[in-house]
Chains A and B, each alone.
Chain A
Amino acid sequence: MTAIEARGLRKTFGSTIALDSIDLRVEEGRILGIIGPNGAGKTTALNAILGLTSYQGELTVLGRNPWTERDLLMRDVSFIADVAVLPRWMRVSQILDYVSGVHPRFRRAKAEAFLAKTAIKRSSKIRELSKGMVTQLHLALVMAIDAKLLVLDEPTLGLDILYRKQFYDSLLNDYFDRTRTIVVTTHQVEEIQDVLTDVMFIDRGRIALACSMEEFESRYLEVMVLPEHVAAARALGPMHERQVFGRSILLFDHADHEQLAALGDVRTPGIADLFVAVMGNQPGEIR
Chain B
Amino acid sequence: MSEPLVAESAGSQAVIQESRPMYWSVRRELWENRSIYVAPLLVAAVVLFGFVISTIGMPQRRRATLLLAPAQQHTTIEMPFDVAAFMLIATAFLIGVFYCLDALQGERRDRSILFWKSLPVSDRTTVLAKACIPLLALPALIFTIVVITQWFMLLWSTAVLLPSGLAGSTWAHFHWFTQSMLLLYCLIVLVLWHAPLYAWLLLISGWARRASYLWAVLPPLAIAAVEKIVFNSAHFASFLKYRLIGGVGEAFVFKAPHGTDSLSRITPLNFLSTPGLWIGLVLAAIFIAAAVRLRRDREPV
User: Could you tell me which A residues sit within 8 Å of B by CB distance?
Assistant: 50-54, 67, 70-75, 78-82, 84-91, 94, 97-99, 101-104, 138
Is B228 part of the binding interface, using a Cβ–Cβ cutoff of 8 Å?
no
Is B40 part of the binding interface, using a Cβ–Cβ cutoff of 8 Å?
no
Number of A-B contacts (CB under 8 A): 81
Q: Are B120's CB and A50's CB within 8 A?
A: no
Note all chain B residues with C-beta closer than 8 A to A79. 118
Q: Are A81's CB and B297's CB within 8 A?
A: no
Rounded to whole angstroms, the CA-CA distance of A51 and B296 in the bound complex is 9
Residue of A82, A89, A91, A99 near B114 (CB, 8 A) is: A82
Is B112 part of the binding interface, using a Cβ–Cβ cutoff of 8 Å?
yes
Note all chain A residues with C-beta closer than 8 A to B299. 52-53
Residue of B23, B107, B119 near A74 (CB, 8 A) is: B119
Q: Are A70's CB and B117's CB within 8 A?
A: yes
- In this complex, which of B21, B28, B119, B125 has the most chain A Cβ atoms within 10 angstroms of its Cβ? B119
Given contacts A80-B118, A99-B119, 16 further A-B contacts (CB under 8 A): A50-B118, A52-B114, A52-B299, A67-B296, A70-B117, A70-B296, A75-B120, A78-B118, A81-B115, A82-B114, A85-B112, A88-B112, A90-B31, A91-B31, A101-B20, A104-B17
Q: Are B27's CB and A71's CB within 8 A?
A: no
Rounded to whole angstroms, the CA-CA distance of A85 and B111 in the bound complex is 5
Closest to B25 in A: A102
Q: Are A87's CB and B32's CB within 8 A?
A: yes
Closest to A52 in B: B117
The minimal Cβ–Cβ distance linking B1 to chain A, given in whole angstroms, is: 16
Note all chain A residues with C-beta closer than 8 A to B23. 101
Q: Are B119's CB and A89's CB within 8 A?
A: no
The SS class assigned to the B binding surface is helix
Q: Are B111's CB and A84's CB within 8 A?
A: yes
Note all chain A residues with C-beta closer than 8 A to B125. 71
Note all chain A residues with C-beta closer than 8 A to B17. 104
Q: Are A82's CB and B111's CB within 8 A?
A: yes
The minimal Cβ–Cβ distance linking A168 to chain B, given in whole angstroms, is: 21
User: Could you tell me which B residues sit within 8 Å of A by CB distance?
Assistant: 17, 20-21, 23-25, 27-28, 31-32, 107, 110-123, 125, 296-297, 299
Q: Are B119's CB and A102's CB within 8 A?
A: yes
Rounded to whole angstroms, the CA-CA distance of A50 and B115 in the bound complex is 12
Rounded to whole angstroms, the CA-CA distance of A214 and B242 in the bound complex is 72
The minimal Cβ–Cβ distance linking B20 to chain A, given in whole angstroms, is: 5
Note all chain B residues with C-beta closer than 8 A to A91. 31
The minimal Cβ–Cβ distance linking B70 to chain A, given in whole angstroms, is: 53
The minimal Cβ–Cβ distance linking A237 to chain B, given in whole angstroms, is: 45
Rounded to whole angstroms, the CA-CA distance of A97 and B32 in the bound complex is 14
A54-B297, A102-B21 known; A81-B118 Cβ under 8 A: yes
Q: Are A87's CB and B110's CB within 8 A?
A: yes
Rounded to whole angstroms, the CA-CA distance of A98 and B28 in the bound complex is 7
Q: Are B110's CB and A88's CB within 8 A?
A: yes
Note all chain B residues with C-beta closer than 8 A to A73. 120
Note all chain A residues with C-beta closer than 8 A to B117. 50-52, 70, 74, 81
Note all chain A residues with C-beta closer than 8 A to B110. 87-88
A82-B111, A84-B111 known; A90-B118 Cβ under 8 A: no
**3 nearest CB pairs, A to B:** A101-B24, A71-B122, A87-B112
Residue of B25, B32, B114, B120 near A103 (CB, 8 A) is: B120
Residue of A74, A80, A81, A88 near B120 (CB, 8 A) is: A74
- 19 pairs of residues in contact across A and B, judged by CB atoms under 8 Å: A51-B117, A52-B299, A53-B299, A67-B296, A71-B121, A71-B125, A72-B120, A73-B120, A74-B117, A80-B118, A81-B117, A82-B111, A86-B112, A86-B115, A87-B116, A97-B24, A102-B24, A102-B25, A102-B121
Note all chain B residues with C-beta closer than 8 A to A72. 120
Closest to B28 in A: A98
Note all chain A residues with C-beta closer than 8 A to B25. 102
The minimal Cβ–Cβ distance linking A73 to chain B, given in whole angstroms, is: 8
Rounded to whole angstroms, the CA-CA distance of A81 and B30 in the bound complex is 25
The minimal Cβ–Cβ distance linking B127 to chain A, given in whole angstroms, is: 12
The minimal Cβ–Cβ distance linking B112 to chain A, given in whole angstroms, is: 4
A102-B24, A104-B17 known; A71-B112 Cβ under 8 A: no
Rounded to whole angstroms, the CA-CA distance of A52 and B32 in the bound complex is 23
Q: Are A103's CB and B31's CB within 8 A?
A: no
Note all chain B residues with C-beta closer than 8 A to A102. 20-21, 24-25, 119-121
Closest to B116 in A: A87
Rounded to whole angstroms, the CA-CA distance of A94 and B115 in the bound complex is 14
Note all chain B residues with C-beta closer than 8 A to A88. 110, 112
Note all chain B residues with C-beta closer than 8 A to A103. 119-120
Closest to B299 in A: A53
Note all chain A residues with C-beta closer than 8 A to B31. 89-91, 94
Note all chain B residues with C-beta closer than 8 A to A138. 115
Rounded to whole angstroms, the CA-CA distance of A269 and B100 in the bound complex is 55
Note all chain B residues with C-beta closer than 8 A to A84. 111
Note all chain B residues with C-beta closer than 8 A to A74. 117-121
The minimal Cβ–Cβ distance linking A220 to chain B, given in whole angstroms, is: 35
Rounded to whole angstroms, the CA-CA distance of A70 and B125 in the bound complex is 12
- In this complex, which of B113, B125, B296 has the most chain A Cβ atoms within 10 angstroms of its Cβ? B296
The minimal Cβ–Cβ distance linking B140 to chain A, given in whole angstroms, is: 21
Note all chain B residues with C-beta closer than 8 A to A82. 111, 114
